[in-house]
Chain A
């Protein structure tokens, strides 16, 4: 408890609980300033632990995205998520997959997972994804999925480029044609 600015550590409460909680969450998930009085080490440890938990939950919703990135998953996710508060695991994974797709670094299995999600649900990047009411095609990095009456089928797998380093992770192309999540 050193270095709290301008006498803010008087015994009277600094701010109400609501404000103090909001400051702490912003510092942990939205790169907000450290709230007065908190030790920096435990704050950093908590921030890292939240990112690890969040990565684990996103990996459960996007197993092929996580598996496709292999041992790069944890750092890729943490780099992307550190300044972005969660929008829920489904949207977090979706946003990350689209970002990697834009950078042309989305692994093939993850492209297929993204294409099947794009075919099943309509997601504008701002609000919760909603089921598509009409037949739709989802595409990502060469993968093509089609949805008819709520069932999604992967029509074409994403091409496996042999020059991609570290792409030895087995994927689910052809083994999970019907996805009903």
Chain B
């Protein structure tokens, strides 16, 4: 048993995956070719019974990657050790090959923002993220991948380009990159920049896996909602990414307004086609 568990842990994310959510646990359980899911780490208990759907995936040796959303690694304050300990415990009990979190902050001055907020692309922010990532790495049993977020606002304090900001953080921490293709699309669309130029400047050899999600336009801005279909432009960007360097795995995120199973299967198939991976449906 021990030996088998260790072998499983070596299996990094591969192929097409989907974000496991309780609402679609039945759908996910029936995907015959699925080798990889991600689960929101804060939703998984550190002890006691696991959600039964997750246990069944582990029994099938499906790789489960805990994805933190509340660590606030970009916060100016030191990361909360209890949150790191929870992420470490979840990684351990799921035999995860890695964990992931965001280059973002979610609280400051005693207030919770409720979601991921962007950092200024300043040297001070780079220092803050790197210090927190180092604190987390000291306690985590596995490597961490860092995800750049989609932002609707930019700080007036920006000093670095997006590519320099991200590359410096990855270089200094040794962390892997979780590249969210929909976030690249959203930021480029909302800032009026070229998403391909960013792909050309990122260290794509550091990508552990990629995220893909749906979104929608509201009030002249593209919103990364995770509750709408994946737009064609995002799938095209997946193709452009894979033409440069295909990530080992790409994962579809859906967080609400779940469509009928046939539609979700079609989205997974479209993603597989765009990336040149076998279908998992």
Residues of A within 8 A of B (CB): 1, 9, 13, 16-26, 28-30, 36-39, 42-43, 45-46, 49-50, 52-54, 56-57, 60, 85-88
Nearest chain A CB to B198 CB, angstrom units: 19
Contact A13 B115 (CB under 8 A): no
Contact A9 B156 (CB under 8 A): yes
Closest residue of A by beta carbon distance from B224: A49
CA distance A49 to B105 in the complex (A): 16
Question: How many residues in B have their beta carbons less than 8 Å from beta carbons of A?
Answer: 33
CA distance A16 to B125 in the complex (A): 10
Closest residue of A by beta carbon distance from B153: A42
Instruction: Assess whether B120 is interfacial by the CB under 8 Å rule.
Output: yes
CA distance A17 to B114 in the complex (A): 19
Contact B156 A28 (CB under 8 A): no
User: Hey, which chain B residues are within 8 Å of A88, CB to CB?
Assistant: 112
Contact B255 A24 (CB under 8 A): no
In the complex, chain B residues 195-253 whose Cβ is within 8 Å of any chain A Cβ? 219, 221, 223, 225, 227
CA distance A50 to B76 in the complex (A): 21
CA distance A13 to B109 in the complex (A): 19
Please report the number of residue pairs spanning A and B whose Cβ atoms sit closer than 8 angstroms.
93
Nearest chain A CB to B99 CB, angstrom units: 21
Contacts A25-B107, A25-B108, A53-B115: A43 and B157 contacting too (C-beta < 8 A)? no
Contact A16 B153 (CB under 8 A): no
Contact B112 A86 (CB under 8 A): yes
CA distance A24 to B116 in the complex (A): 12
Contact B117 A24 (CB under 8 A): yes
CA distance A86 to B111 in the complex (A): 8
User: Hey, which chain A residues are within 8 Å of B108, CB to CB?
Assistant: 18, 21-22, 24-25
Contact B219 A37 (CB under 8 A): no
User: Hey, which chain A residues are within 8 Å of B219, CB to CB?
Assistant: 45
Closest 9 A-B residue pairs measured CB to CB? A22-B109, A37-B156, A18-B76, A42-B153, A21-B108, A17-B76, A22-B108, A86-B114, A46-B152
Partner of B111, one of A16, A20, A25, A54: A25
Instruction: Assess whether B128 is interfacial by the CB under 8 Å rule.
Output: yes
Contacts A18-B77, A25-B117: A85 and B157 contacting too (C-beta < 8 A)? no
Contact A49 B124 (CB under 8 A): no
Instruction: Assess whether B82 is interfacial by the CB under 8 Å rule.
Output: no
Contact B113 A28 (CB under 8 A): yes
Contact B111 A29 (CB under 8 A): yes
User: Hey, which chain B residues are within 8 Å of A23, CB to CB?
Assistant: 109
Contact B111 A26 (CB under 8 A): yes
Contacts A17-B124, A21-B76, A56-B227: A38 and B115 contacting too (C-beta < 8 A)? no
Contact B77 A38 (CB under 8 A): no
